[in-house]
Structure 1
Amino acid sequence: MHSLSIAQFASVVASVLIWGVVLAISHPLPQSEFISIPIVRIHTPAMTLSYHPSIIHQQHVNRGIRRLAHMTGRAQPSYERLWSNIRERIDNLYDNLQPRYNHASLEILKHMLSSANTRKTNRLQMLSAASVSATSGDSDLESLSNSLMNAASAGFVNTIGLDIQSNDVGYLATVKIGTPPRNFRVLVDSGSADLWVGGEGCRNNGKGCGNHTRLGPHTSTTFNDTMEQWSITYGTGAVSGHLVQDDITIAGLKYSRLKFGVARNASDEFTSNTIPFDGLLGFAKSTISQQQTPTLLESLHKVGLIKNAIASYKIPRLADGKDDGELTLGATNPAKFNASTFVTVENVNKMGFWEAAIDSVSVNGISLGWSNRTAILDTGTTLLIAPQEDVDTIHQAIPGANFDGSGWTVPCKMSTSLALTFKGQEFPIDPRDIAFLPLDEDNPEMCMSGISAGNVGFFGQTTEWLVGDVFLKNVYFSTNANEDRDEISFAHLAD
């Protein structure tokens, strides 16, 4: 097996490290109190198809490892460790497949050629310009060029459908901000708790911040700059700026003088003209807010615009051919789930993320004997990330699964079912979601598994899983941040 040149390796690693973008009540509210907002699917860049699926898969794993470390309060993996993960995947490629997938994007290569010291200096300069200190981010959001398909209309009241013509990379919602109100596309993330959009005069290392919708006194007569500073660091990207107050409307709900962030400085990952969003909207709890402000959801609840601080998600699956994804605020949408399977559990995460105790894990109906695992539920993560020992045990129960030295593969047409049980209710994962990407598109027999290893913390000893869309596509998922509630709900999807 031959080795890659330094330039080839750098280009592949760069694409992996900077690509990827990165959300309960016992009785549903009356239909008139449902508020559902439009969400748009972010599409996988066509250029990523130039890389072998195992490299793309490792990118998702690396991202999940970082998110899991942050959400559990453990040390972040070093970039050296992430690079090593990619190198192992490259070394395990078949000889005849390596040349086919080693085409470098000139833009990625250009980005990579700047040294680590230069990138660190640029980031420090950017944050220094805002007179703030970088803190560890509340999300591992990273960005690269992404196409965007507008959502189709849905049949439910106050609902706009989710376009699902591509891989699950992220979801966008359109909100109106300012006076006169203008549309801002924001990335929806249940693993973070802040709202920010780009500001007028935003700078990226001395340059502008790209062709995005921006907010400021020249575009909004109700804009008020508090001059309070904030900063967030996301993996390879960072933003900083001032907290402001302005009017915001989401799904017809208008909140006056909401306090949120406007970016005055942003790194490359957020400023390219090809980045399809103008900011980010988090739906975790405000206890993890880097801006130290209430979340938009909590604010809507506090003033009575919604009765409950609930966010409910129907995450769609491309293979189903349906534009039926949605985010509902203030309640659940009974048309989207089977009420007889609805269960509510305690949120066991005290930091502010959403985490539920798993009763049991089974493969093809056979319990693996685990009763002490927990699931951090994150719509911003594509895969399911668990400790190596757990991942190995699961795959050893899947007929045809194989470990290639750096990751597990499964038959693309596998029929094995993995199920997680919460509060006595079993929730199976569709085998199509476990078979993540075919190793070879010309011969789609084996696929990279959507269940991957990610050990964090001391000696990798943890019972916490990071459970992303591989599982969440199979359930109706709802969170309740009411003062007297701290709950997570699941239900089987409606037929």
Structure 2
Amino acid sequence: MIASAYFTTLLLFLLFQDVSGAPTASTPAVGRSIPLRRLSPSSQNLTLVAQRAKGQRDMLVAKYGGQSLGKRATGYNLLVNQGIDTGYYGSIAIGTPPISFDVILDTGSSDLWLTSSACGAVCGSSPTYDPTKSSSFQNLSMPFEITYGSGAAAGYVAEETVQMAGFSVQKQGFAVVNSLSSNFNQNPVSGLMGLAWASLASSGQTPFWETLASGGSFDSALFGVQLTRYGNASDATENEPGGVIDMGYTNSSLYSGSIEYYAIVGQPEFWEINMNTLTVQGKSIDIAGMSSAIIDTGTTNIAGPATAIASIYAQIPGSQPGTGQWQGYYTYPCSTTVNVEFNFGGNSWSMSPADFTHTQISSTQCIGAFFVSTIGQGGPSWVVGDAFLKNVYSVFRYNPPSVGFAALSTTAIAQNGIKAPPPSATIGTVSAEVTNTGAASSGRPLSTLLCFWLVSASIAVMLL
């Protein structure tokens, strides 16, 4: 019965997707998407969970404190879900000849980085990039060095041909990391692709997606994301189907109704929008003067101001502030069903009670997904991560700069917890090719943002 249900769902999904990543001749706008994959172990090491939760809280300070054109096209890349909804990664190909790598996909940063073959054992057992095997590699001789709370990383900025979801960008800037103080990447993840705006890029390089969107390579100047849920699946395994990123189009098979868009706050940098209201157990939480929210696929949970987070858990009898490595988080009775609704200026969007539970730490006590932000003054009030994004089809639009949400379709919902093998790499046959002719203007110091990326990747690939 399980296998039959899976193949029925898969067939419905394939009616709307070209899993090879190649263009489909039957539609005027050729689709490209990336399958997402996910790691989800069947048992949890609570000490490690707590360590990674602390890392997630601490990394927010580092993250937020401070062309020649081919034809237009679209594409998709299936994703992998990691660590019981902890993070999501997809595949890219880099170099000439192209070699595929798995990378965390992060709308909260703007740089692409890969670990180098010169990195050695500290980079773990994941595949590494070897520039000597590519004829299109060019070292820009720009040092790439960062420090963070528990160590340091170093490397350099280079240019390469990068492919993803059937698109190819020549002379794409990225960071080659050849020195890490600790093992950040869990096999098979080799790095991170930032999907925020060029003004945020610490390397000074225009992000892959923005080169394509600004140059007219996309049929529609946007990308969409659907993420799966396995947090409430008792038989989840190490790698699970994670959803999809649709590049240059929105996949109508994955959402119902219309997409509601919200304008970016200020100049495009992060995907930052205003949050109008937040309701918990039917009661409105006071967020006056603290409504700025960054939509971030690279953050597992949801961070907010201390007063608002305290108000959230005040609606849940038996809640208590966490201590030690759980400081900033809250415990609450696992038997309590917690209902949360977000409103960003139009429709209200519900968050599944299953996503409110970050992890269970005893037979009766759970850790909630909302935690206290440590960003401080000048940063966003809220960072809204995967705990919410699993509940909607999300769209990130280039022009006008905005974030959109739509209700998930029955096809998308049916992919939650499904027993199926994780997708293989879906680079796709190149249908649009551009040359990146200019670097971005960096808006953040190099040491600040890669600091986040390394910690974020650590959390995403090593949690649980």
- TM-score normalized with structure 2 length: 0.70
Partners of 1:476 and 1:492 within 8 A in 2: yes
- 2:314 alignment counterpart: 396
How far residue 199 of structure 1 moved from its aligned partner, in angstroms, is 3.3
Which has the larger share of helix?
Answer: 1
190, 194, 203: which one aligns with 1:291 = 203
- 1:492 alignment counterpart: 407
- 1:34 alignment counterpart: 31
Matches within 5 A, 1:61-460: 61-68=54-61, 70-73=63-66, 159=76, 161-164=78-81, 166-200=83-117, 202-203=118-119, 209=123, 211-233=125-147, 235-236=149-150, 238-270=152-184, 274-319=186-231, 323=241, 325-340=243-258, 342-348=259-265, 350=267, 352-372=269-289, 373-403=291-321, 406=327, 407-440=329-362, 443=363, 445-457=364-376
AA aligned opposite 1:486: P
AA aligned opposite 2:182: D
The runs of 4+ residues in structure 1 deviating greater than 6 Å are none
Partners of 1:311 and 1:480 within 8 A in 2: yes
Q: Whole-Å Cα distance in 2 between the matches of residues 212 and 56 of structure 1?
A: 21
How far residue 58 of structure 1 moved from its aligned partner, in angstroms, is 6.2
SS, match of residue 163 in structure 2: strand
In structure 2, relative to structure 1, the CA distance for the partners of 1:227 and 1:310 (3 Å cut) is same
Partners of 1:61 and 1:453 within 8 A in 2: no
How far residue 463 of structure 1 moved from its aligned partner, in angstroms, is 7.1
How far residue 345 of structure 1 moved from its aligned partner, in angstroms, is 0.8
SS, match of residue 299 in structure 1: helix
**Could you list the runs of 5+ residues in structure 1 that have no partner in the other structure?**
1-29, 74-156
Q: Whole-Å Cα distance in 2 between the matches of residues 213 and 467 of structure 1?
A: 31
How far residue 425 of structure 1 moved from its aligned partner, in angstroms, is 0.9
Q: CA RMSD in A?
A: 3.0
Q: Whole-Å Cα distance in 1 between the matches of residues 288 and 217 of structure 2?
A: 40
Q: Whole-Å Cα distance in 2 between the matches of residues 377 and 395 of structure 1?
A: 22
Partners of 2:36 and 2:242 within 8 A in 1: no
Partners of 1:476 and 1:491 within 8 A in 2: yes
In structure 2, relative to structure 1, the CA distance for the partners of 1:184 and 1:163 (3 Å cut) is closer
In structure 2, relative to structure 1, the CA distance for the partners of 1:351 and 1:369 (3 Å cut) is same
Q: Whole-Å Cα distance in 2 between the matches of residues 233 and 473 of structure 1?
A: 32
AA aligned opposite 2:365: M
Q: Whole-Å Cα distance in 2 between the matches of residues 184 and 292 of structure 1?
A: 22
In structure 2, relative to structure 1, the CA distance for the partners of 1:463 and 1:244 (3 Å cut) is closer
How far residue 476 of structure 1 moved from its aligned partner, in angstroms, is 1.6
Partners of 1:193 and 1:281 within 8 A in 2: yes
Partners of 2:81 and 2:89 within 8 A in 1: no
In structure 2, relative to structure 1, the CA distance for the partners of 1:241 and 1:309 (3 Å cut) is farther
Q: Whole-Å Cα distance in 1 between the matches of residues 340 and 33 of structure 2?
A: 31
- How many residue pairs match? The answer is 366
SS, match of residue 338 in structure 1: strand
In structure 2, relative to structure 1, the CA distance for the partners of 1:421 and 1:217 (3 Å cut) is closer
Partners of 1:312 and 1:329 within 8 A in 2: yes
AA aligned opposite 2:172: L
AA aligned opposite 2:344: F
Q: Deviations over 1:322-363 (max 9, x none)?
A: 8461111122222212223x2111111547112111111112
- 2:423 alignment counterpart: none
Q: Whole-Å Cα distance in 1 between the matches of residues 147 and 87 of structure 2?
A: 18
- TM-score normalized with structure 1 length: 0.66
Which has the larger share of strand?
Answer: 2
In structure 2, relative to structure 1, the CA distance for the partners of 1:235 and 1:216 (3 Å cut) is same
In structure 2, relative to structure 1, the CA distance for the partners of 1:31 and 1:262 (3 Å cut) is farther
Partners of 1:166 and 1:318 within 8 A in 2: no
Whichever of the two has the greater Rg, that structure is 1
Q: Whole-Å Cα distance in 2 between the matches of residues 456 and 258 of structure 1?
A: 31
Q: Which has the higher contact order (CA 8 A, sep 6+)?
A: 2
AA aligned opposite 2:133: T
Q: Deviations over 1:441-489 (max 9, x none)?
A: xx2x22111112234425xx9870121122111122221234xx22111
How far residue 159 of structure 1 moved from its aligned partner, in angstroms, is 4.5
Q: Whole-Å Cα distance in 1 between the matches of residues 176 and 61 of structure 2?
A: 27
Partners of 1:408 and 1:448 within 8 A in 2: yes
Partners of 2:223 and 2:249 within 8 A in 1: yes
Q: Deviations over 1:13-64 (max 9, x none)?
A: xxxxxxxxxxxxxxxxx77343211222244696xx3435xx7346424423
In structure 2, relative to structure 1, the CA distance for the partners of 1:31 and 1:42 (3 Å cut) is farther
SS, match of residue 268 in structure 1: coil
Q: Whole-Å Cα distance in 2 between the matches of residues 158 and 423 of structure 1?
A: 30
Partners of 2:77 and 2:165 within 8 A in 1: no
455, 459, 472: which one aligns with 2:389 = 472
Percent identity, aligned pairs only?
Answer: 27
- 1:121 alignment counterpart: none
AA aligned opposite 2:86: V
> Which deviates more, 377-386 or 297-306?
297-306
Q: Deviations over 1:362-402 (max 9, x none)?
A: 12333234444121221121121112211111111124434
In structure 2, relative to structure 1, the CA distance for the partners of 1:414 and 1:209 (3 Å cut) is closer
In structure 2, relative to structure 1, the CA distance for the partners of 1:71 and 1:208 (3 Å cut) is closer
Q: Deviations over 1:263-317 (max 9, x none)?
A: 34333334x7x54322221111111111101001112224433244423211211
